[in-house]
Amino acid sequence: MASLQEPLWLLENGNLKGPNKEIRHHGRTAHNKSSSSLRKKSDLTLVSKVRCGLLRQFLTNLQEVFLGTKLSVLFPAIPLAVLAQSYGFAREWVFALSLLGLTPLAERVSFLTEQLACYTGPTVGGLLNATCGNATELIIAIFALSQHKIDVVKYSLLGSVLSNLLLVLGTSLFCGGIANLRKEQKYDRRQADVNSLLLLLGLLCHSLPLLFRLAGAAPTAETTDPTLQLSRASSIVMLIAYLSYLVFQLFTHRQLFEAQEESEDEDGVSEEEPVIGFWSGLIWLIGMTAVISLLSEYVVGTIEDASSSWGISVSFISIILLPIVGNAAEHAGAIIFAFKNKLDISLGVALGSATQISMFVVPLCVIVSWIMGIKMDLNFNLLETGSLALSIIAVAFTLQDGTSHYMKGLVLLLLYIVIGACFFLSQTPLNQANSGLKIPPETIFRV
Amino acid sequence: MAELSYHVENGESNKGSMSKELWNNNGSGRTAQNLSTSLMRKKSDPMLVSNVRYEMLRNFLSNLQQVILGTKLAVLFPAIPLAIAADFYNFGRPWIFALSLLGLTPLAERVSFLTEQIAYYTGPTVGGLLNATCGNATELIIALFALYRNKIHVLKYSLLGSILSNLLLVLGTSLLCGGLANIKKEQRYDRKQADVNSLLLLLGLLCHMLPLMFRYAAAPGVLVADSTLQLSRASSIVMLVAYIGYIFFQLKTHRQIFESQEEDDEDEEKAVIGFWSGFSWLVGMTLIIALLSEYVVGTIEAASETWGISISFISIILIPIVGNAAEHAGAIIFAFKNKLDISLGVALGSATQISMFAVPLCVVVGWMMRVQMDLDFSLLETGCLALTIVVVAFTLQDGTSHYLKGVILCLCYTAIAACFFVHNVPAPLDQTSVKMGLKPPSAFSA
């Protein structure tokens, strides 16, 4: 049909390729750009054979959403996971299949958020991305809270921060350094500085309850635990900081965060026209979020069984495995942009994610648990907080000069491997009833 | 005579707006601290005094007006006689505490003014030295009184709180207000000064952490109190040597790094009161500060119990806010005018002075008085100090500023204040069991 030809052409062509003009402020943060590199052009021939126009549009929509990513090979894992749960297969299979199913879903949610941002304008789009950018981690955390597995929450959020800071950033810098050995790699250090500063504030808010607890403040029976009060107050402080960061990023100092997209020839993902409609995008988003919730519930419910049957500690699964899954799409995107020597975007992805989790998701969980009456505090115990502190200091130091080379990436990667080894060997028993693990301090302070 | 009176009666020639470049003219030892508190001055009203007939009386009254009324904080001066009356007539002890605190605020500012006036007569170097030692006279006097009364925890808390307040509150509000007021401009400052101060603060941090870790690393059962004390005393001497090196650096060899960028019109090269009158005022005010500090240190427990706030919160948060109020306001005003070098000089210079001069001085004085004061400020406090210094050093190391930096520093201070608000440590009054809430490692509970 000729009249429908043009919009259909746009729909069917998926993402327009070609040279990328200067990107308007569609709320496309570095986050969005990186995962967009995983998109692929939809195959038109399959759909164009369908006769009826409406059906064709629907199928195009479906194809766009489901097959528009290279990760869509993992989509079959979702029905398999649901099957495994309902037919009572071995629990670790449910766990593994749910994890695999979450990977493409996280990417699709990011895609849909970006599409919606094209309609809503840059500021709301940026806000949408700032809150939903880590939807998977947030949903897993809230489910773990509702099942009273507070240490799973803490571990998974900590692991997400560590994974973003060390693994994603390290592999990006490493691959980018190797691919651009001859060129000088520069990035704008002001963005990195702001993120490092926020992470240091988050570190302070985590350290205070830990030091408080180590200094011997025992909770008395009749009064509220002071560590808990302090954690709740600190969470409000962290949320205020995150709000100011959003105002800073989206309103007053926008120019610091604009991605450097002046000329781009091959990966021309100009997404100034959305490829699906607003309402269909919204419906898909809600649907996918519901599926993510379902899979997250499976994951949280079966984590102990998977741990005991595979012989790996729960801390390792929460800190290392879960975040790798949740971050897979961003990770791949960050590496691809680093290959092209566009380090600002890689840094924006990795640091922005880490800041979002540390300053938004973690305090939000504390506040949500306050509302739910669960005693979650910011005390992540000595080993975890120590790893976090050293990671933040290492990353802040690495990024403070504005240039990069592969050695920086290698060092960050090795840091991650060491921390991973540490948690692999840490066989502390899982204590679900109260607020977290206790590592006896005598063993640490003994000479 | 008339000309002299005219100069005296006109008060300060600045109207609180801008100052000329001072160093090159006669180098009157005006550091950033002096500049900032000069903003709190106001021009004295000559009309009142010129009505009085006798010139001697007129001079005396101008002098009085200059000293007592020459600041916007003069409204708080009545708190001083009230505090003395409260103590004499045995009002509630919390009242004595509150009135003494209020009375200390203008006194701290006046001492800074007098120090600056005397510096005109003594030349730049001695003036700089005077400022370096008396710049934080209030904190030093409170600390010495607490030492004398064996309230080591109050001493440690108040000095620590002073450092934290300077590094986070004063600096944070300055950067925040400056950033909001100059949101379109780029704000730059010379990072060399900030670097030197950060380095000294890190040395101080090391000297604090060594006794702390020493105590933790000891095998259980081994008494280390003696060794920690000796280590603290040796470290204090090291810190004092570092501070002397810093003074030498700042006043002699690398003066140009610390010169404030003052190219504007007004000059304050004339002192407004005579040398001997300034000196006697200084001695008198120091005595009053000593009296009020004694009240403060004596009534702090009673105030804490009555108001239901922990002693650590009062010492770490309330007392430093009072002692720093004048500098604080000055630093904010200079940040509004985009003169960040001065704000940084005030905040960082104060913090360095307390950390590297006041604290080791108290240890040495305690050594002479046979009081067991060491540098071990216990885990929570030292942890806060470490994180603060790291955050501030990182914030200032790139030479530019925006309001988000100020927001984050203020929020850090809020988090630390919340921590000490919920920190209910019983205050032991005898020196042998002062642990500030630190139980031995075997009693860790969670």
What is the CATH classification number for the domain harbouring B320? Answer: 1.20.1420.30
Residues paired with B188 in a beta bridge: B400
Q: Which residue has the tokens 């670790």?
A: A92
Domain that holds residue A289: 71-257+276-425
Examine residue B6 and state whether it is found in any structural domain, yes or no. Answer: no
Residues of A with Cβ-Cβ distance to B179 under 8 angstroms: none
What is the least distance, in Å, from the CA of B310 to any CA of chain A? Answer: 13
Residues of B with Cβ-Cβ distance to A436 under 8 angstroms: 446
Are B423 and A197 inside 8 Å of each other by CB? no
Residue partners of A119: CB distance under 8 A and separation at least 6: A274, A278, A281
Are A241 and B390 inside 8 Å of each other by CB? no
DSSP A273: S
Examine residue B1 and state whether it is found in any structural domain, yes or no. Answer: no
Please choose, from the candidates A109, A113, A108, A136, the residue with its C-alpha nearest in 3D space to the C-alpha of residue A124: A113
Are A248 and B404 inside 8 Å of each other by CB? yes
**B333 neighbors B178 (Cβ within 8 angstroms):** no
| Dihedral sign (CA A411, A412, A416, A419) | positive
A219 or A130: which leads in pLDDT = A130
What pLDDT does residue B51 have?
A: 62
What is the least distance, in Å, from the CA of A187 to any CA of chain B? Answer: 15
Closest A-chain CA to B392? A197
What pLDDT does residue B422 have?
A: 87
Q: C-alpha distances in angstroms, B96 versus A219, B84, B132, B241, B287?
A: 34, 8, 30, 38, 17
Are B402 and A216 inside 8 Å of each other by CB? no
Are B402 and A253 inside 8 Å of each other by CB? yes
User: Which CATH number goes with the domain that contains A95?
Assistant: 1.20.1420.30
Examine residue B103 and state whether it is found in any structural domain, yes or no. Answer: yes
Distance CA A52, CA A57 (A): 9
Are A237 and B411 inside 8 Å of each other by CB? yes
Domains contained in chain A, number: 1
Are B445 and A218 inside 8 Å of each other by CB? yes
What would the pLDDT profile of A240-250 be if each residue is shown by its tens digit? Answer: 999 999 999 88
Residue among B186, B378, B419 with most chain A CBs within 10 A, to mutate: B419
Residues paired with B20 in a beta bridge: B264
**B365 neighbors B66 (Cβ within 8 angstroms):** no
Residues paired with A186 in a beta bridge: A403
Are B394 and A217 inside 8 Å of each other by CB? no
In the predicted model, what is the mean pLDDT of chain A?
Answer: 78
When pLDDT is cut at 50, 70 and 90, the band that residue A434 belongs to is very low
Closest A-chain CA to B379? A215
Closest A-chain CA to B436? A215
What pLDDT does residue B412 have?
A: 96
Residue among A198, A214, A395, A446 with most chain B CBs within 10 A, to mutate: A214
CA angle centred on B175, ends B172 and B180, rounded to 5°: 125
What pLDDT does residue A265 have?
A: 39
Examine residue B329 and state whether it is found in any structural domain, yes or no. Answer: yes
Distance CA A248, CA A260 (A): 18
Examine residue B34 and state whether it is found in any structural domain, yes or no. Answer: no
* A230-234, A291-295, B88-92, B367-371: range with highest mean pLDDT: A230-234
Are A241 and B408 inside 8 Å of each other by CB? yes
Examine residue B52 and state whether it is found in any structural domain, yes or no. Answer: no
Closest B-chain CA to A235? B415
Q: How many other CB atoms are found less than 10 A from the CB of residue B42?
A: 16
Examine residue B7 and state whether it is found in any structural domain, yes or no. Answer: no
| Nearest Cβ partner for B407 among A218, A241, A447 | A241
What one-letter code names the amino acid at B213? Answer: M
Please choose, from the candidates B38, B56, B11, B62, the residue with its C-alpha nearest in 3D space to the C-alpha of residue B110: B38
Closest A-chain CA to B218? A447
What pLDDT does residue B240 have?
A: 95
What pLDDT does residue B34 have?
A: 58
Q: C-alpha distances in angstroms, A219 versus A366, B140, B311, B427?
A: 18, 36, 19, 18
Distance CA A410, CA A420 (A): 15
Distance CA A215, CA B280 (A): 47
Domain that holds residue B297: 72-258+274-422
What is the least distance, in Å, from the CA of B421 to any CA of chain A? Answer: 9
Examine residue B343 and state whether it is found in any structural domain, yes or no. Answer: yes
Closest B-chain CA to A228? B422
* A226-240, A317-331, B43-57: range with highest mean pLDDT: A226-240
A44 or A311: which leads in pLDDT = A311
Please choose, from the candidates A220, A223, A386, A217, the residue with its C-alpha nearest in 3D space to the C-alpha of residue B312: A217
Q: Which two structure tokens, joined as six digits, stand for B144?
A: 């010495």
**What are the residues of chain B with a beta carbon less than 8 Å away from any beta carbon of chain A?**
183, 216-220, 378-380, 383-384, 387-388, 390-391, 394-395, 397-398, 400, 402-405, 407-408, 411-412, 414-416, 418-419, 422-424, 437-439, 441-446
**A157 neighbors A362 (Cβ within 8 angstroms):** yes
List, run by run, the mean pLDDT of 10-residue segments along chain B (446 residues): 44 38 40 60 59 73 76 76 81 84 82 77 72 77 88 90 94 93 84 91 94 86 83 94 92 74 49 78 85 86 87 89 82 85 86 93 92 88 95 92 94 94 61 41 41
Distance CA B302, CA B280 (A): 34
Q: Is the ipTM of this complex over 0.90?
A: no
Are B423 and A237 inside 8 Å of each other by CB? no
Are B380 and A200 inside 8 Å of each other by CB? no
Please choose, from the candidates A202, A227, A198, A378, the residue with its C-alpha nearest in 3D space to the C-alpha of residue B445: A227
What would the pLDDT profile of A174-196 be if each residue is shown by its tens digit? Answer: 999 998 888 888 888 888 999 99
Please choose, from the candidates B12, B115, B394, B305, the residue with its C-alpha nearest in 3D space to the C-alpha of residue A199: B394
What pLDDT does residue A261 have?
A: 46
| Nearest Cβ partner for B415 among A215, A234, A445 | A234
Residue among B184, B407, B410 with most chain A CBs within 10 A, to mutate: B407
What is the least distance, in Å, from the CA of B219 to any CA of chain A? Answer: 7
Q: Which two structure tokens, joined as six digits, stand for B238?
A: 């090291």
Mean of pLDDT values over A85-101: 83
**pTM, full prediction:** 0.81
Please choose, from the candidates A296, A214, A444, A62, the residue with its C-alpha nearest in 3D space to the C-alpha of residue B378: A214
